[in-house]
Every structure is written in structure tokens, then in C-alpha cells.
Amino acid sequence: MTEFDLIYKLLNTQSQQRNDVLTGIGDDCAILSVPENHSLAVSMDTLVAGVHFPESASAYSVGYKSLAVNLSDLASAGATPAWITLSLTMPAADEDWIKEFVRGIFTLADEYNVQLIGGDTCKGSLSISIQAHGFVKKAMLRSGAKAGNLIYVSETLGDAALGLKSYHGDSAVDTTCIRQFNEPEPRVKLGLLINNVATSCIDISDGLISDITHICKQSLCGADIYLNKIPLSAAYRQYYNNKPDIMQALSFGDDYELCFTIDKSNKQHIDKISRETGINLTCIGTISTQSNVRCFNQYNEVVDITKRGFEHFNG
Amino acid sequence: MTEFDLIYKLLNTQSQQRNDVLTGIGDDCAILSVPENHSLAVSMDTLVAGVHFPESASAYSVGYKSLAVNLSDLASAGATPAWITLSLTMPAADEDWIKEFVRGIFTLADEYNVQLIGGDTCKGSLSISIQAHGFVKKAMLRSGAKAGNLIYVSETLGDAALGLKSYHGDSAVDTTCIRQFNEPEPRVKLGLLINNVATSCIDISDGLISDITHICKQSLCGADIYLNKIPLSAAYRQYYNNKPDIMQALSFGDDYELCFTIDKSNKQHIDKISRETGINLTCIGTISTQSNVRCFNQYNEVVDITKRGFEHFNG
């Protein structure tokens, strides 16, 4: 058995098998059936070792997170996940590493009824490309926000930023933050629930300010953000002795929470979704007629935002 | 403008715009419409610099070939290409390189009415993942070959193997072979035409023997190949002074010709397709009840095949 055969064999061990996969791994193409009256939602993200995850991250985490970030994109469109393809590039076929990597992917995939339908494996420096496919009747986009809309985020921001510090030897970081960095929970169920009320939606990968800017650009509007409303976890506050680093929480990214906008009339509906799912949903500001994103402190003064979110190629 | 913005801008320059792309580049997901009564065919291939193409290959060729190998997979399923996603990982955002790379992709994409609908760009060693999406009513698979079927290949084999030699300083290689290596023509139109008669199909990427072995494994059969029938180009014969390296032509791969099987009763239909398209289609053997691939020389003696096709991770 060649190393290539080994990887192929490991990728074929998924228990999850869907009826809409007519031909899966093992032919030139996967052949798939999209349900009637649904559109196909497609997202592709690549994670490079040393850029998107620490070289020392566990294989399980790398697998889990590679899928999570793609499911998060489907979540922000309000789509139901279905299939993934995987391109795995690695320096050498390390059986133990691949087994753990595959376990990380399949753990999350099985949870969301997602089947691996194909992919490619190559020799090279470690990177993972996953493309996720889902179904949606009407997708949430970045482009539907309107002046006066309320801006919400799910759960808390900044925890993943703290989680990364643990890789730099910081032992004061709470395990919940490390987990948030390694294995973020894609907000798929939330995306489905808010789909009929949200006017726009994005997942927070680049940092709230960067991502809300994407919404503003596509929706031709501005946003007023109230910094004292930004939801921070107890672990985050405690790490900073209750003087939390707000800028980091706004700009680091890697949160994979949803940021979405709604008409004010739907506020109670959002509160109800929050109660029923147990997912905290916090109103952090409003969409404005300005053309920019403004942040206000507790004295209602505009705070200059100079630090931008994570960008690839930023050296 | 950041480097990331630059790439994003360049990828947004495609003139080809399809009606079935509801949302393209610029949102978390692309939102797409698959035509009724059609399945979705999906293929993903990754090309790594120094493994799948020479480091010195032109950016145009790298772009062109990255797409061609994926369209070739759709061709072997008999699918009509529609959309692609692109993940581009490169050490630094070199504007000139990216422009040429994008030109290579878009030249071929426009020819086949294919739209780039999304992707990702990352910093890292040069590699390209493309996923191609197409539509098909009934896909050709590797699994339908039956004993007695005739085995065909399109055009000639081995030219790409010669083409690679030019990168190693061999000036005797004909330009047609270099072009075959750099910019193989995906056999999309041929795939559509043979779809209703071929019992199985594969594109020759790993080398004929490797690829026919895939058909045999999936179809639970064997194959008898007649070496004197293997179609070789005039340039290939001339390079070897009419003593052509048959093993190389059988095992190097990178040909991206189609290998397919038909019932004998459809031979005339295949001849007609060949005449009408101008694509040479050569019968090179028959599917057998054996469990292996046997090669016969002109004296009808079995020739031992020890050299296998290209495999990733083969060091």
C-alpha cells in the first residue's frame, strides 16, 4: 500500500452516508443531487500551517477547525450543510497525524450530517482546503442591511484571540478560550433560525469591525457600534482583571460567531430564538445612513478605530 | 489597497457571467442554481509547484493547466462545466504573476462558459486548488465496463511526458508536446458526445495503465491492451527516431485524454464521432474477464508491466 492509498483509505472511513450522494469518493467526479426548489450554497476556505493555525496545533484541532470555518460560512448564508471536498497538502504521509486529522473532520461532519465526497492529497507544506456545499431556499447575504436595522452578534468575541496566546506559552488562558480557538462551533442552527428575519448576515472571521465593514460596503450603509455592548466572556474579563482588551475582541477575528442585522420590529423574535437555543444574542449597535463604521464609548463619544481585522498577506 | 484586495480585484475581472450564479464572489458563500433533472458533478484537484508543474512554468500555463485538469475530470463524467472555485496559496502577492495566472484561467474558463464564483487566497508555498462544478443527467463512471467491451483512447499518449523534458533543458522536444504538457485541452465536448454510448470513462492523468486499472477495479474486470495500437504522435515518434518509448507513454500520465469503453455494437458510432469532431479515437484493447491489466506486444505475447503511473507521495 502506498502512502497515497493509505490516505485514500482513511478518508473512506466515514460512517455518514447521504442518499443524495449518487457517487462519492473513488471516481473522477462526485455526482450529487440538489433538492428541488433549493439553491446550492458553496464556500471554500484554505488553512495554512503557521498562518491560520499554529504549527503545533493538534491534528484533531486542525481537522475540526478546517471544517468548522467552512460550515460557519454556510451558517452565515442560512444554508443546511450537505457535502464537503477536501484537499490535503502535507510534507509526508504521517499515519498517526492523518488519523487524528480525519477524526477531527468526521466528528464535526457527522454532527452536521455532512459527507466527504471527494478531494485530493498532495505533497507540500501543510495546508488544507475544504469546500462546503449546502442547500438554501433564500440565502442571507451581506447586502440587505438597511438604516435603522439593529446589529446583533452571537455569544462572545475575543475568546479565540486569547486562545491563541496559550500557544505562545501563556498559561493564564482559560481552557474555554483555547477550545474556542481550536474547535469553534459553527452557528449552523442559528443561521437556519434567523434566516427569515435577518436582513444581512456574516460570520466573524476577520474581526467584528472588518466584517461589519463588509456588510456596510455591500449594503451601502454605515454602522454605529456601542463598545460597552460588545459581549465578552467571563474568562476574557477575568484574564484582563476586568479591564478587557476591547480592540482585540473587535479586530482579531477567528470568532466564527454570526453578526446579523434585523428590522427593529423583529427584536422580540430574536430574543425568543436566544431563549430557546440558549445562544446569547446581543444587540451591539444600529445600521446608519453614514458610509462608515463608527464606534462609541460609554460617554457616547466616537472612538477612533485604527486597528483592522486579520488580513492574509499582512506579513 | 492591500495585496489581498489586489488579488480579489483581479479575480473579479472575468467577463463570463452566468445566469445561474445568484451570488458570486464577494459574499460568505456563492449561491447557485442547478438546472432541474440534472445532477451536480464536482471535482477538486490541487496542483503544487515542483510536484505537478515545474517551478519555472509560466504563470499563464499554471493557471490554464490548473483549470484544464479539473475540466478534464468533468469531461470524463460527461458533464457540462459551469462554475469553479479557486484557492490560491502563494509566498507573496506578485501582481504580474497573478495577472498572467488569472489570464490563463479565464482564457480556458471563457472558452467553456465557466464562471469563477469564489475562492480563497493565502500566504504559503505555491499551490492551486480548483474545484469544478458541472451538470449531468447520467454520469459516466469508472464502474460500468463489461467483458468484451472495446477500450478507446482519444488522440495520442506520451506527448506531455516529452513536454516536461523541455523544462530539463532538452531542446529537441517539439513545441506541440510542450503545449500538451502546459495547456492540455480538456475533452469536454468529447465527453458529452460519448456519454450515451460509453460504459465507463476516465481521464488519463496518472498514466494509461494506472487509469485503466482504476476502471478494472471499479468494474470488477480486467483489460487486454495491445501495445502496437497505442496512439503516438508524429512528434513523439520522431523524437525517438521511430523507436518510441512505449512505457513512458503508458505510465507517465498528464495526458488528459479520455479512456473509455463501449459495447462492440457501438463501434461505428464512435468512428462517426471521431470523423465529425476531428478527434482521433483509437481502439487499444478489450475488457476481459481476467482481474488484471495485461499488455500484449505485436507477437501477441504478454509484456510485463512493472512501471506504474504517477503517484503523489512517491518521493
pLDDT at B90 over 80: yes
For residue range B191-219, what is the model confidence (pLDDT) as tens digits? 999 999 999 999 999 999 999 999 999 99
Residues paired with B136 in a beta bridge: B39
Asked if the Cβ–Cβ distance from B4 to A313 is below 8 Å, we say: yes
pLDDT of residue B221: 97
pLDDT band at A315 (very low <50, low <70, confident <90, very high): very low
pLDDT of residue A312: 35
Hey, which residues 233-292 in chain A have their CB within 8 Å of chain B? none
Residues 6+ apart with CB under 8 A from B203: A28, B72, B73, B75, B76, B187, B211, B256, B257, B258, B259
pLDDT at A1 over 80: no
pLDDT of residue B306: 64
pLDDT of residue B187: 98
Residue A222 DSSP label: E
Q: Please identify which residue in the block is written with the cell numbers 498562518.
A: A51
Residues 6+ apart with CB under 8 A from A182: A57, A58, A61, A64, A65, A163
B218 chain-A contacts, CB cut-off 8 A:
26-27
Please check whether the domain covering A3-136 is classified as CATH 1.10.260.40.
Answer: no
Q: Please identify which residue in the block is written with the cell numbers 465526497.
A: A117
pLDDT band at A306 (very low <50, low <70, confident <90, very high): low
Of B36, B51, B314, the CB nearest to A124: B51
Q: Does A169 touch chain B (CB under 8 A)?
A: no
- Burial class of residue B37 in the structure, from the number of CB atoms within 10 Å of its CB (0-12 exposed, 13-18 middle, 19+ buried): exposed
B187 chain-A contacts, CB cut-off 8 A:
none
Greater model confidence, A91 or B61: B61
Sheet holding B21-23, edge to edge: A115-123, A80-90, A127-136, A39-48, B30-32, B21-23
Hey, which residues 122-151 in chain B have their CB within 8 Å of chain A? 122-125, 127, 129, 131, 133-134, 136, 139, 141-143
**CATH topology for the B150-303 domain:** Phosphoribosyl-aminoimidazole Synthetase; Chain A, domain 2 (3.90.650)
pLDDT of residue A5: 67
Residues paired with A85 in a beta bridge: A118, A131
Residues paired with B154 in a beta bridge: B281
B198 chain-A contacts, CB cut-off 8 A:
none
Asked if the Cβ–Cβ distance from B134 to A29 is below 8 Å, we say: yes
Asked if the Cβ–Cβ distance from A2 to B311 is below 8 Å, we say: yes
For residue range B106-156, what is the model confidence (pLDDT) as tens digits? 999 999 999 999 988 888 889 999 999 999 999 999 999 999 999 999 999
Of B27, B40, B134, the CB nearest to A141: B27
pLDDT of residue B2: 58
For residue range A28-48, what is the model confidence (pLDDT) as tens digits? 899 999 999 999 999 999 899
pLDDT of residue A51: 87
Best residue in B4, B27, B194 for a mutation probing chain A (most A CBs within 10 Å) = B27
A217 chain-B contacts, CB cut-off 8 A:
none
A31 chain-B contacts, CB cut-off 8 A:
39-42, 77, 136, 139, 141
pLDDT band at A314 (very low <50, low <70, confident <90, very high): very low
Least confident of A241-250, A270-279, B151-160, B258-267: A241-250
**How does the average pLDDT of chain B come out, rounded?**
92
Domains of chain A, residue spans: 3-136, 150-303
pLDDT of residue B8: 73
Tell me which long-range contacts A232-235 makes (C-beta under 8 A, separation of at least 24).
A232/A156, A232/A157, A232/A158, A233/A156, A233/A158, A233/A159, A233/A176, A233/A177, A235/A159, A235/A162, A235/A174, A235/A176, A235/A177
Of A85, A134, A313, the CB nearest to B42: A85
Which ipTM was obtained for this model? 0.91
Instruction: Please tell me the number of Cα atoms within 13 Å of A244 on its side-chain side.
Output: 23
Greater model confidence, B7 or B85: B85
Greater model confidence, B218 or B315: B218
For residue range A110-128, what is the model confidence (pLDDT) as tens digits? 999 999 999 888 888 899 9
**Three-state DSSP class for residue A255:** coil
pLDDT band at B73 (very low <50, low <70, confident <90, very high): very high
**How does the average pLDDT of chain A come out, rounded?**
92
pLDDT of residue A104: 97
pLDDT of residue B13: 81
Distance from CA of A155 to the nearest CA of B (A): 20
Asked if the Cβ–Cβ distance from A29 to B39 is below 8 Å, we say: no
Is residue A78 a contact partner of residue A140, using CB atoms and an 8 Å limit?
Answer: yes
Asked if the Cβ–Cβ distance from A34 to B34 is below 8 Å, we say: yes
- Within its chain, how far is the Cα of B314 from the centroid? 20
Q: Identify the closest residue of chain A to B117 by CA–CA distance.
A: A42
A7 chain-B contacts, CB cut-off 8 A:
313
pLDDT at B96 over 80: yes
pLDDT of residue B274: 98
Q: Does B92 touch chain A (CB under 8 A)?
A: yes
pLDDT band at B1 (very low <50, low <70, confident <90, very high): very low
For residue range B20-52, what is the model confidence (pLDDT) as tens digits? 999 988 888 999 999 999 999 999 998 999 989
Range B12-21 average pLDDT: 87
Is residue A208 a contact partner of residue A252, using CB atoms and an 8 Å limit?
Answer: no
- pTM for the predicted model, two decimal places: 0.91
Q: Does B67 touch chain A (CB under 8 A)?
A: no
A122 chain-B contacts, CB cut-off 8 A:
46-48, 51-52, 127, 312
The phi, psi pair for B58, rounded to 5°, reads: -70, 150
Asked if the Cβ–Cβ distance from B74 to A29 is below 8 Å, we say: yes
pLDDT at A8 over 80: no
